[in-house]
Structure 1
Amino acid sequence: MRQKIIGILLVLALSAAVSASATELDARLLVFRVSEPGAEPYISRVIVSDDFLRLDQGASSPGFILLDRQAGVIYSVNPDDRLVLVFRAEAGGSEAPAQAQLEMRQLELADAPTVAGVQPQEWQISVAGQLCERGLVAPGLMPEARAALQEYQRLLARQQLATLASIPPEFQEPCDLLLNIQRPGLLLQKGLPLQQWSPAGHRQELLDFRRQFPVNRELFVLPESFRRLEMGSPSGGAAEAG
């Protein structure tokens, strides 16, 4: 396992030095490989500008998720249905349930090479004695991209909180509550995640990152011809966006 970690870190250190001159807009890039139980691994690409965050599965991916960072609105674009789902964080609303005992513990990590001059750290997140997640992070690396991802995860947490009342308490998992509603983005607070894994089988590893990534501004534009559907709380349902 340690040899695999070292190999990944060396690749990242080399790719971090690659940059290109800006064309229309200079952004920041993160590329992850994500694995879920029972599914083929897939690529998750994150492109961040000062005003937007875009999530897709690579340059050839027709669908994407767009966060308007200024408005605090998430758009999910589905080309097959020619539909854009619109998620707005509700003001006020329900409060998150009381948080169980959280423990974040830094683990000993010896002989790991630096990434772009940064020494990685390994962290373990537990709640009420139950292991929720472990992750290898690079403190201080890619702060602008991390900030955008934290904004995105906080907005998702508010959306999920709005639906929590429809889930019976016996089906509410402490780790899910902690990571997805109560304290989203815990590992991002410690640094850029290089690897993440959970007992449930979720794995994510960083394949590439660029501090400068020239992109076309059209990547942050929603298709005008697509129908828009506002997604509200469970009681409010969905409504056509004007």
Structure 2
Amino acid sequence: MTNQEIEKLESKYLNKFYHFLKSFEDEMMDGFQTKEKIKDDWFGKYGTNISDFAVGAERIIYALFNGKGIGQPNSCPVGSDMFFEVKDAFIHIDLKTVQTRNIGDITRSIFVGENQNSYKGIMNVNTRQGIIQRDYIPALPTFYNKGKDTEKICLSYFITIVYEDENLNILDINLICMPNGQLENHYGSRVLQAGKNPGKTRFRFTEIPTFELLETPKSRVKVIYFDKSMNDDLKRKLSFYEDIFDEQGDS
């Protein structure tokens, strides 16, 4: 499979999942609000661990995908929270939630686990002695059943949600496609940013915001929801997403 064919598949499923989530946007947002019906029974009982909101958000997102029968779920223990097979690919989708107090974790890059991507590459690490290079080795293959008649590509996507840490209001929901590892010969070290610990990495989606190998480059990021009423400081920090949202239109 050529690099351009890979990007066509990545773009195909990015658009498919974007339109799917947009078509169920009302149900998704209603689902996020169901926590309010029993708020007196849980609010204030988790202290600073309210980041467990991620667990509740996952239930809503995964229920939508599973309820609509998108692909055959796969039981492999190595993979993202959602891992399923479709006609021409194996697809991993993971959910990332970020509080506004930690908004820097999502403005330019996101943490990705070894079980969530196939991009083997080099990370440039800033040290006191200068920039050094560190290898990054993911757990996923670029293709499943490589060389066999049943060979299929491995695709990685991330749903990111930004929410206010005090009242848990949703501010921004995005869908992001990380390049398949075979594309390393094109994107090189631009994709990866060294994480806080050795062996960990972040996906620098703002460094490669488009499918560069398509005849008409399209965005690797789709914005499903953006709250235009958020304060100006947050808008400034999330301007990358707002610009994409405006380009897409709000429909």
TM-score (norm 2): 0.27
* Structure with the higher fraction of residues in strand conformation: 1
Higher relative contact order (CA 8 A, sep 6+): 1
Which is richer in helix? Answer: 2
